[in-house]
Amino acid sequence: MFSLNLFALTQARLPLAMQAELILRIVIAAFCGACVGIERGRRFKDAGIRTHCMVACSAAVMVIISKYGFTDLVDAAGNVFPGVRGADPARIAAQIVSGISFLGVGVIYRDRRNSTKGLTTAAGIWAVAGIGMAIGAGLYVIGVFTTIFVLTLQIFMHKSFFLQDRYSVSQKLDFVAQDDGDTLDRLNALLEGRKIAVVENKVERAGNMIHCRYLLRMSSEQNTQAITSEMLKDPGVRTVDWSEPG
């Protein structure tokens, strides 16, 4: 009966219209995070759209909890319920926000292709912490909605090609070509035409030959054999070798 009274009190202090506005805040925060993620993805950063969405969404949930999550500690007249006088639940919530970060760090790593993995998983762990805080604070509608919203972000954005980061694979490209003044420009144009980004490059010249070492970022759908065949069609190219970043 006491828990039901607390639920009724919470709903009285946060009517459905107000909770709808709080949900809108979460959606807007996620949208803003996605905008930042798109920009970062186009600049070849590891943390992309989904990661920024999750972090922005989670941060919004935690701020909402900090502002509205503890109204059930006092009655309508502002009197503190017996047994909770002097309690500071916001302090406990703050420790959860900072402490859960250490758990997220444990799932982030770099693979043999020099790509960072686990960022979205770490953001998801942080999001789940926010969801748990929402439910624990009695914001049931906010917590359940955030759960559904985060799952939708994870599933939809993982399968949607339009929303995926375009440059997700790193590769090293070494090639030797004749230094006739135009060969390098033609090869760079070939890579640019295939939507392959040159992150780093090193060119060594010896006589009339050049040895180029490129670090590339490209989509997983790119076929290195097809790229090699196109490069070898250029009369100035002698050898082409691919390797994974070490």
How does pLDDT run across 125-150, given as a tens digit for each residue? 788 888 878 876 778 888 889 888 88
Contact 172, 116 (CB under 8 A): no
Segments in the chain forming alpha helices (H): 2-13, 16-42, 49-68, 89-105, 119-136, 140-159, 183-193, 224-232
What does the alpha-carbon distance between residue 38 and residue 160 come to, in Å, rounded to a whole number? 14
Spatial separation of the C-alpha atoms in residues 56 and 48, rounded to whole Å: 12
Check residue 212 and give its pLDDT: 92
Interacting residues of 84 by C-beta distance below 8 A, sequence separation 6+: 73
Output the pLDDT for position 211.
93
Contact 212, 80 (CB under 8 A): no
Give percent of the chain above pLDDT 70: 71
Provide the 3-class DSSP secondary structure of residue 81.
coil
Q: State residue 2's pLDDT score.
A: 46
pLDDT in tens, the chain (246 residues): 445 555 565 566 677 888 888 899 999 988 888 887 776 666 565 667 888 888 888 888 888 887 777 766 665 555 655 555 555 666 767 777 787 777 667 767 666 555 667 777 788 878 888 887 887 677 888 888 988 888 888 777 665 545 555 566 778 999 999 887 788 889 989 998 888 888 888 989 888 899 999 988 887 778 899 999 999 999 889 999 998 876
- Which tokens sit at 199? 């992150």
